[in-house]
Amino acid sequence: MGSGVRSVTTTAIALACAAAILSAPGVAYAAPTTPTPIPTPAPTPAPTSPGTKDLEAVRMKLDTLYHDAAAATDAYNLAEERTGKQSAQIVGLAREIVEGKARLDDLRERVGAAARAQYRAGGLPDEAHLMLSDDPREFLDGAGRIRQGDQATKGLLAEMERTQKDLEQYARDAAAQWKKLEANREAKAKAKKKVEERIAAAEKVESELETEEKERLAKLEQQAAHRAQTAWLDSGVLDDAGGSASTQGEKAVRYATAQIGKPYEWGAEGPKTFDCSGLTSQAWAAAGQGIPRTSQEQWKQLDRVAVGAMRPGDLIIYNSDASHVALYIGDGAIIHAPRPGRTVTIAGAGSMPILGVVRPDK
């Protein structure tokens, strides 16, 4: 990995250590013992802030909502990609139909010209005119022209038939692509609605928290990520790792590094905002390697490698449904676009449940 990437990674490790120290659990205080109440009407208790256990439930609820939003975003992106391809195919088929009709019109004109020429010759077929000739040489020359004319006519008719069949096939293909286009438009609209609903629900949960509760929730998130990353590293999964990035991998890492701090936006692929797979697909596009747009298609289509054999530039796919993806930058760290309300950042590669690793280049 290049010196620029190493400096970024070193900074990432330092930040991770600082976060771990700052997010260490504080001292837990027991609730004061309440004396036996005097049998008088009790005042209405003042509302209290949620305890750590309650905030942990909030954290898990938010994780679920944002996970669902990420999965729906992937579905939206896939439908968007397919819609674009199908629209292009329909345009291509329409062009073929227009050109085919022009060819068919030309062939019909040529066949009609031949028929009109025969009519002007007296309506007798060429063979009859030939038989009436008294000149043997004219007879032989005429026989040759008749054979050529007959072959040409048959060729025109055959070409007309092929062109007509092509037009019919183009029309069938266009109808099929239109049907798929409509289906993907519906899927896209459905996915968009789900994304917006899940994000709105998550934002509502967060908006109901007080400032102090939000700070405690952030610490809980940091602690959970730190525990997961520590357990992952302690498993020894990276003991034999250390492969160097390929030339393209270095370029992808440099691109992703330059995006740090830019906001997450679902469905976005730069240059100002990104979702998770928008970031990884654009990073590899900048490296000169086109890859699928969505994390699920990246998981399906790209070559898989063992976690312990990954190198900077590889993509780590997360969750059992492949709903999140990040770019590995080495030393157990990743760059990713986490979720709504967050920015492109560096994190521990093991801070989320890893499904597997894929490599865009060989």
Q: What is the pLDDT along the chain (362 residues), one digit of tens a residue?
A: 444 434 434 444 333 433 333 333 333 323 333 343 434 444 444 444 455 558 888 888 898 898 999 888 988 888 888 888 888 888 888 888 888 888 878 877 777 776 666 656 555 455 555 455 556 565 555 555 555 555 666 777 777 788 888 888 888 888 888 888 888 888 889 988 999 999 999 999 988 898 899 999 999 999 999 999 999 999 999 988 778 999 999 999 999 999 999 999 999 999 999 999 999 999 999 999 999 999 999 999 999 999 999 999 999 999 999 999 999 999 999 999 999 999 999 999 999 999 999 999 97
Residues 161 and 111 sit within 8 Å (Cβ to Cβ): no
Q: Phi/psi at 242 (nearest 5 deg)? A: 145, 15
CA–CA gap between residue 66 and residue 340 (Å, rounded): 8
Per the DSSP assignment, residues forming a β-bridge with 295 are none
CA–CA gap between residue 314 and residue 308 (Å, rounded): 12
User: What is the DSSP code (8-state) at residue 269?
Assistant: B
Q: What angle do CA 101, 103, 107 make, to 5 degrees?
A: 115
| Residue 324 bears catalytic tag | yes
The pLDDT value recorded for residue 225 is 94
pTM (2 decimals)? 0.64
156 contact partners, CB below 8 Å, separation of at least 6? 107, 110, 111, 114
Residues 334 and 325 sit within 8 Å (Cβ to Cβ): no
307 contact partners, CB below 8 Å, separation of at least 6? 237, 316, 354, 356, 357
Given the DSSP bridges, would you call strands 315-318 and 324-330 parallel, antiparallel or unpaired?
antiparallel
Residues 353 and 232 sit within 8 Å (Cβ to Cβ): no
User: What is the DSSP code (8-state) at residue 29?
Assistant: -
| Residue 67 bears catalytic tag | no
Q: Could you tell me the CA-to-CA distances from 178 to 47, 98, 164, 175 in Å, in that order?
A: 58, 17, 21, 5
Residues 94 and 174 sit within 8 Å (Cβ to Cβ): yes
| Residue 276 bears catalytic tag | yes
Q: Which residue of the set 17, 67, 226, 336 is catalytic?
A: 336
- What helix, strand, coil percent values describe the chain, rounded to 5? 60, 10, 30
